[in-house]
Amino acid sequence: MIEYELKTTVGNIFAEFEDKPFAAASIEQVHNATLITGEKVVVKVQRPNIHKVIETDISILRFIAILMVRHIPEASVFNPEGIVDEFAKTVTKELDFIGETRNAQRFRKNFADSKIVYIPLVYTDLVTEKIMVMERIEGVKIDDIKAIDALGIDRPKLAKDGLDIYFKMIFEDGFFHADPHPGNMFVFPDGRLGLMDFGMAGRLTPEMMESIANTFLAFFNKDFDRLIDEYIDLGLLRDG
């Protein structure tokens, strides 16, 4: 797959390439490698024919959603067809590593001056729709408490930094990392956070950013009528 996509041999690109992936998911698997220029990288390789597999899965989900609405009227309040449509949009974006590269570049620009988070470099000349080569982050997973303590990291500060990072994404940039599970968040020995995997990113309009801010204020002020109004404005609840 790498050689077909990049039109050259693996040996012409990498001095070292680990055949065994260190991570594998439904869409791609990820390998450690070293470029011939010496930089340590990770290589995301999309699974062959995954587009067809996902198209079939989405068709099955759509059929199930239709059956749910038809035979379980109570399910309509959860809008199962809308959920499938939203999932289809998201997973389709994840199949395009060029789009993920653009997301990574935007995050890297947004946090260029940050002292609390690091966004890895993407080697854009080694990116196609199905292959992505990115700078390797050396750190411990954010849920590895023992390793974090062994580094002497101040965990309350780390938690606050994580919150500050997301507050900047949501309230300043209107562009946020939408897949923040432990496999995508690392802690450096100096206490900085590192983010990985930018296939899922969310965008917020100024109106949505204001609504989310008002939601926080209503929650902290225990103004629950206002909170419900904001939930309706955000589309989390219907008027009824």
Q: Token pair 């077909």 is at which residue?
A: 4
Q: Give the DSSP letter of residue 186.
A: E
Question: What's the first-to-final CA gap in the chain, in angstroms?
Answer: 51
Catalytic residue list contains 179: yes
Q: Which of the following is catalytic: 96, 179, 223, 229? A: 179
d(CA 230, CA 240): 14
Closest CA to 22 of 103, 137, 153, 178: 137
Q: At how many degrees (to 10) do helices 224-234 and 206-220 cross?
A: 160
Nearest to 176 by CA among 208, 223, 220: 208
CA distance 113 to 143: 26
Q: Which active-site residues does the annotation give?
A: 179
